[in-house]
Structure 1
């Protein structure tokens, strides 16, 4: 996986191509998921749903213009009514009324009421008194009967609850009336006893009358006190008239005291009387109120109505809610397409291989020389793909090699020598022998005498490809066991000569490090215009590194969608900056899959026209 920070910026075309080259994965995922959902949808038993629309009033109904006192204390809340709607009480009544115990769907069920409750759902939108009672099941007619019966029984249960509450209310009121009546009788007895005990027929108004009498006595007292003062001055204290005046003053003071005591006594008795009278009046009022409420409740008990209304009855549904094949398949199709495309992007994200020219140039920093398409569609099984440029000169692959030859030549200035070209790769099985053989054939077809050298003295394949059996080759030439001419052999292809790898040797790196390899190259440059070296992979051996600074340039073969980027970059480090890398070629492109099909098709057509 390439680190996110090292990823190149993708274009819209790149995103399209990521999916297009994996189109069969997309098709497979879409077909499997959609097919599975379609099969499951069509094989699922049909489930229907119907509903009753109810209205549950906020206030309790009124009877004869008066507020219903059944729930006067705390009428049921909407939540309590919804709980009652889906209660076992209602369910058991529905089971009994519809005789569901003999129904084949319920006959083996241990708890029919619980099963019935499981078929019912309630939808109560916020800020509204409308409630939807929904019933789900396999039979449209059965669930319709259940829904309508359920709503009717719900109303009946509510009425029964109100009747029970009314019955309890009547009993409670009667108890309260009896208790109040007893208290009233006790208070009236206390009042009568008070009146008898104090011999009171009626409580007089002692206010202004007694106040006037007290004021008159106080004035008389004041006048006598003045007369006594004047008489004492005129007659002296011992005069008989003084005794008469003093006797009158004492009589008035006594009268004043008696009147004040009488007033205080009357006021106290008046207060006691008022308290007793108020108690009696209060109890009489409570008693009369209870009688009125009892009468109203007895009337309402006979005419109890519910605050629940059926707005719309249930009707048999024409279509099932489960399954819905069209919706299920549409959702499955959308999901599978999104999942498949996401999976393609995930595969691309974890894929650190190179697949495009942009990838090669951005990640490896090597010039891009061209694409080599897979030769499978252009050649028969009996034919060797290494000779495709010879046996199928008008194929896509052959044209790709001609383009590669042009790219290599144009990558060097005209006045610069480019005779020795080494073909290598990072690891084995990337197609370097396939590329080096066909590139050599292409140079030979351009009337350039070309020498193809099998420089992979460990696992070279050119002898097998050209079906040549010889004891001589590069290893024997470097070891001084044969001459240059003896190491070279002709091929069926005009202008193309081959130097096989020669006998196996345990120390290829030592042979390649001698002066002899330089002498071989010098001799080859004198005799041939182009020398193509099929070198071993860079990873694992040092042969290619040794040869790298002795050739004019290196062509790096990268197998498309196969070679990890980290290996390629490791190879770049191994080769170092001194070795001249002409560029990279992307091998094994599938023209049916990749976006470069039109590119190859165009050039193939153009070549045939020539």
Structure 2
């Protein structure tokens, strides 16, 4: 029964504010908390859904691992003449750079990464075909099973069964395809017993083969296909794999891009090589392979550099030796032909200074000769070397001026000894360096030292379970609260009875709470086609009944003021609970010893007969038309003391029947027979019957039944205006169907929940 509903309590206090412009809801923390509390189950549902999505994300998202290695890059000597290397580095600005800066680019170079790609066989990629989203999770949760020893037909399985639902493995050593098919996925269907069939990117059958044997085939365009499967393990054939022959360059670039290479600290020379991925063994192998090839490349580069330096020194040493021999011969000849002259302290100082300058000039000239093999004349290093040579030449000229001031004998002796010392130092230094370079070339030593190799990671770095679950809860709370507040913001129905009083100026006589017991019992009775229960009679301890008793008291005083015993009950729209209010109020009034009659004036959709025997006839329409006497149409409601006049046969013109004088005479007759006449009228906004009834008899008291959260304030105002046209203003409003959620909207009063305590309660 759509308009049968519940009972009431005292008017709950709400956080409201009245103004001359009308009623405004006060947005306060208690009111906001009330909104959220009213949607607590909705918010809980959002949180639960978000948590379930978080769990699904954790189960379906592959774990990401991270591995790293540490390398120390020591400063390198680019020349056998170490003393000049530092000078030139400072002149060119190289002294402020870390030795690791250039090496980081080398680590990512294709010459290093490409060799790792070849060694690890990364050109060929394979993967099991899992069911989308959940297939990998299911397969990972199962234990590996023994490989199937018997082959099945390639078409034996269905599309669903071809997925890998348990742990599987495949190892492909060789896979050659035409260039046009590189980078495209092929499907390999394992049939068990080591047999397989290969299908092309378009699904065409290319070849069949056996594990451990070379298999060949041809494409439809005539290209050759070669495949060697070294190992294949499936437990439930047929099972499909994806196989792809990648371009070497794309794989090398991809691997270089996945490497995370960075120097630890500023100019420390300590470089970290890291990689993340879902396969911990694979990323460990890749980092170590790149690391080993980088070290090998560094050693080979050092060996090649040493070879070039050896060739240069072997070419220069005979020249330096000849110059040394000539200088010694000149000094010996001078001493033989002339009387030896000892140098003074000043001369000795000039000799040391001159020897140093000449030694540096000779080394710098050889250094420049070595640099010409690597750089052009405009290179910054060559320019710096020329600038330094100019400085040394200027220092040499300045020193020559001081030497020329010495006596002739000391001057000759100084120059000859200077030539011998310079050539001796240069020859000895080059000879020692040559031996060092031969050792470097013969050995495996570079300027790179591995501190830590990459180790297989144990635990993943993502996804983080605690973070995902926390974010899921927060997301659920945010979305749930947002949805609840948005729903309330879009809510059009009045949920606060005080708003009716403040906006319309009509008193609210009672606020009737919703009765869950009555809703359940009414639905049950309608399913079984039994009489609908009367709450005041069948469940008198319900809090709604207490609200109706309050309405009975208010009605008593309203009757005294109006000096009338006829009450009209209507509402703005159907489904507000008019029949519920009428029947239960009639029972409570009759319980005081008064005689009460309830008239179902809704001759279109009247429902009072559902409280009796579900028979609509005979009723009001037949009494007005004279088809049935009044006494035959009046039916008692059990032994309650309540008499009911049902709506009767549905007429084609209900409004015209209510305008007849017979209807007014009927009301007069009922008023003489009974202490109280309750008229259950149709909704005023749907039809005009309620206004017609209000004008059929003097002194009729009209009550408007509204349902909490159902009517916008404008709808109630319009209903009041239509009733006022009959010059019978509405005496008051009954606010029906009030729930805890409506109290929460207003800030949270709950005192209407006061109920009877059972006798067995302690």
Which of the numbers 734, 737, 755 marks the counterpart of 1:603?
755
1:372 corresponding residue in structure 2: 513
1:510 corresponding residue in structure 2: 656
1:227 corresponding residue in structure 2: none
Structure 1 residues 17-26 or 427-436, which shifts more?
17-26
**Structure 2 regions of 5+ residues with no counterpart?**
1-21, 126-169, 174-243, 313-359, 374-429
1:95 corresponding residue in structure 2: 117
Quote the offset at 1:38 in angstroms: 0.9
- Cα distance in 1 for partners of 2:448, 2:720 equals 85
TM-score by length of 2: 0.53
Q: Which structure has the highest helix share of the two? A: 1
- Cα distance in 2 for partners of 1:137, 1:331 equals 23
Which of the numbers 48, 54, 71 marks the counterpart of 1:37?
54
Within a 5 Å distance, the mapping from 1:217-232 to structure 2 comes to none
Within a 5 Å distance, the mapping from 1:166-181 to structure 2 comes to none
Q: Say which structure, 1 or 2, has more relative contact order (CA 8 Å, 6+ apart).
A: 2
Change in Cα spacing, 1:525 to 1:492, as seen in structure 2 (3 Å) is: same
**Structure 1 regions of 5+ residues with no counterpart?**
173-284
Larger Rg: 1
Aligned pair count reads: 492
The question of whether the paired residues in 2 share the 8 Å contact of 1:448 and 1:529 is answered with yes
1:120 corresponding residue in structure 2: 259
2:729 corresponding residue in structure 1: 580
- Cα distance in 1 for partners of 2:622, 2:366 equals 134
1:462 corresponding residue in structure 2: 608
1:51 corresponding residue in structure 2: 68
- Cα distance in 2 for partners of 1:81, 1:572 equals 88
**Secondary structure, in 3 states, of the residue corresponding to 2:513?**
strand
Change in Cα spacing, 1:606 to 1:512, as seen in structure 2 (3 Å) is: farther
- Cα distance in 1 for partners of 2:24, 2:605 equals 36
Which of the numbers 445, 454, 459 marks the counterpart of 1:319?
459
- Cα distance in 2 for partners of 1:582, 1:431 equals 18
Change in Cα spacing, 1:8 to 1:592, as seen in structure 2 (3 Å) is: closer
- Cα distance in 1 for partners of 2:639, 2:28 equals 44
1:215 corresponding residue in structure 2: none
TM-score by length of 1: 0.64
**Secondary structure, in 3 states, of the residue corresponding to 1:429?**
coil
Which of the numbers 417, 422, 431 marks the counterpart of 2:568?
422
Within a 5 Å distance, the mapping from 1:443-592 to structure 2 comes to 443-467=589-613, 473-479=619-625, 488-514=634-660, 516-548=662-694, 552-563=700-711, 567-576=715-724, 578-589=727-738
Quote the offset at 1:138 in angstroms: 3.6
Deviation per residue, 1:225-284 (Å, 9 max, x gap): xxxxxxxxxxxxxxxxxxxxxxxxxxxxxxxxxxxxxxxxxxxxxxxxxxxxxxxxxxxx
Change in Cα spacing, 1:68 to 1:593, as seen in structure 2 (3 Å) is: farther
Structure 1 residues 74-83 or 481-490, which shifts more?
74-83
Deviation per residue, 1:160-180 (Å, 9 max, x gap): 7899999999999xxxxxxxx
The question of whether the paired residues in 2 share the 8 Å contact of 1:509 and 1:546 is answered with yes
The question of whether the paired residues in 2 share the 8 Å contact of 1:386 and 1:438 is answered with no
- Cα distance in 2 for partners of 1:537, 1:315 equals 80
- Cα distance in 1 for partners of 2:271, 2:723 equals 80
- Cα distance in 2 for partners of 1:455, 1:528 equals 17
Change in Cα spacing, 1:438 to 1:88, as seen in structure 2 (3 Å) is: farther
Q: Which structure has the highest strand share of the two? A: 2
The question of whether the paired residues in 1 share the 8 Å contact of 2:723 and 2:729 is answered with no
Quote the offset at 1:41 in angstroms: 1.1
Structure 1 residues 302-311 or 378-387, which shifts more?
302-311
- For the pair 1:392 / 2:539, whether they are aligned, the reply is yes
**Secondary structure, in 3 states, of the residue corresponding to 1:531?**
strand
Change in Cα spacing, 1:429 to 1:95, as seen in structure 2 (3 Å) is: same
**Secondary structure, in 3 states, of the residue corresponding to 1:67?**
helix
Quote the offset at 1:90 in angstroms: 3.1
Change in Cα spacing, 1:379 to 1:469, as seen in structure 2 (3 Å) is: closer
The question of whether the paired residues in 2 share the 8 Å contact of 1:47 and 1:138 is answered with yes
Within a 5 Å distance, the mapping from 1:408-419 to structure 2 comes to 408-409=555-556, 412=558, 415-417=561-563, 419=565
The question of whether the paired residues in 2 share the 8 Å contact of 1:444 and 1:494 is answered with yes
The question of whether the paired residues in 2 share the 8 Å contact of 1:42 and 1:323 is answered with no
**Secondary structure, in 3 states, of the residue corresponding to 1:370?**
strand
Change in Cα spacing, 1:380 to 1:571, as seen in structure 2 (3 Å) is: closer
- For the pair 1:353 / 2:493, whether they are aligned, the reply is yes
Change in Cα spacing, 1:58 to 1:568, as seen in structure 2 (3 Å) is: farther
**Secondary structure, in 3 states, of the residue corresponding to 2:47?**
helix
The question of whether the paired residues in 2 share the 8 Å contact of 1:424 and 1:535 is answered with yes
- Cα distance in 1 for partners of 2:758, 2:549 equals 12
- Cα distance in 1 for partners of 2:495, 2:41 equals 18
The question of whether the paired residues in 1 share the 8 Å contact of 2:590 and 2:596 is answered with yes
- Cα distance in 2 for partners of 1:54, 1:322 equals 26
